[in-house]
């Protein structure tokens, strides 16, 4: 896990990495958000050791935000998968327009997978090691949402907070993220693209 990613690279560097994969990087107007998850190389589940980046313009000037998240399921759901095929782990890709602001589990507002399919790995050996096996991949509507963990403070371990969702460690960070998404919605409508890459892709 690389700390303070935003201090180690420029917007241009991030843009070049995203575009080199054939993905879109949004540069037009204000609050045209680039939401980018960065997965750490750690294969031991249950840590908030990944990063959420959000790059956008305000008044024509670039802003780059960074928060601690998990892009992986917690130990509990790896050992007790919801599906017989195994626990979902999101495959790195760009999921264009797949997300919208909606209620997560009918409880609170989050970014929810409502507008299209995503691809997941299925980890079915019920241990604490994250298995990214290409043979297990499948596309579908799996409810891989982007939401918070503890509603009052921050969580130290993932456990039940993620069964494949992208989950914020600190509620204050999540609130900051959703405030930005609300402003983006007013400008661009209720459709959000989420891009997941690996830490190694950044070449830092």
Q: pLDDT for 59-117, tens place per residue?
A: 999 999 999 999 999 999 999 999 999 999 999 999 999 999 999 989 999 999 999 99
HSE of 161, CA atoms in CB hemisphere, 13 A: 26
C-alpha 94: how far from chain center: 11
Record the tokens describing residue 90, joined without a space. Answer: 């999101």
pLDDT (0 to 100) of residue 16: 97
**Whole-angstrom distance between the N-terminal and C-terminal Cα of the chain?**
12
pLDDT (0 to 100) of residue 24: 98
Helix (DSSP H) and strand (DSSP E) numbers for the chain: 3, 11
Cβ atoms of 144 and 83 within 8 Å: the answer is no
Q: In 29-69, where does DSSP find H-type helix?
A: none
> What value does the mean pLDDT take over residues 39-66?
96
Q: Which residues of 29-46 are buried (b: 16+ CB within 10 A; e: fewer)?
A: ebbebbbbbbbbeeeebb
Domain segments of the chain: what residues?
5-202
d(CA 26, CA 36): 12
| Strand order, beta sheet including 87-90 | 87-90, 118-123, 138-140
pLDDT (0 to 100) of residue 8: 83
Cβ atoms of 158 and 150 within 8 Å: the answer is no
C-alpha 96: how far from chain center: 13
pLDDT in tens, 120-135: 999 999 999 999 999 9
């Amino acid at each position: 896990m690389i700390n303070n990613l935003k201090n180690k690279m420029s917007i241009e560097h991030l843009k070049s990495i995203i575009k080199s994969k054939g993905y879109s990087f949004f540069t037009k107007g204000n609050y045209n958000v680039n939401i980018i998850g960065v997965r750490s190389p750690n294969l031991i589940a249950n840590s908030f050791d990944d990063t959420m980046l959000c790059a956008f313009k305000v008044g024509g000037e670039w802003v780059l935000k960074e928060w601690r998240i998990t892009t992986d399921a917690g130990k509990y759901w790896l050992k007790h998968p919801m599906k017989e095929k195994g626990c979902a782990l999101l495959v790195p890709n760009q999921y264009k327009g797949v997300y919208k602001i909606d209620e997560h589990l009918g409880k609170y507002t989050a970014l929810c997978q409502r507008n299209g399919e995503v691809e997941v790995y299925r980890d079915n050996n019920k241990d604490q090691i994250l298995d990214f096996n290409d043979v297990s991949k499948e596309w579908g509507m799996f409810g891989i949402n982007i939401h918070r963990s503890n509603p009052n403070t921050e969580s130290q371990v993932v456990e039940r907070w993620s069964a494949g969702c992208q989950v914020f460690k600190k509620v204050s960070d999540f609130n900051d993220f959703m405030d930005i998404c609300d402003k983006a919605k007013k400008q661009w409508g209720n459709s959000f693209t989420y891009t997941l890459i690996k830490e190694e892709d950044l070449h830092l």
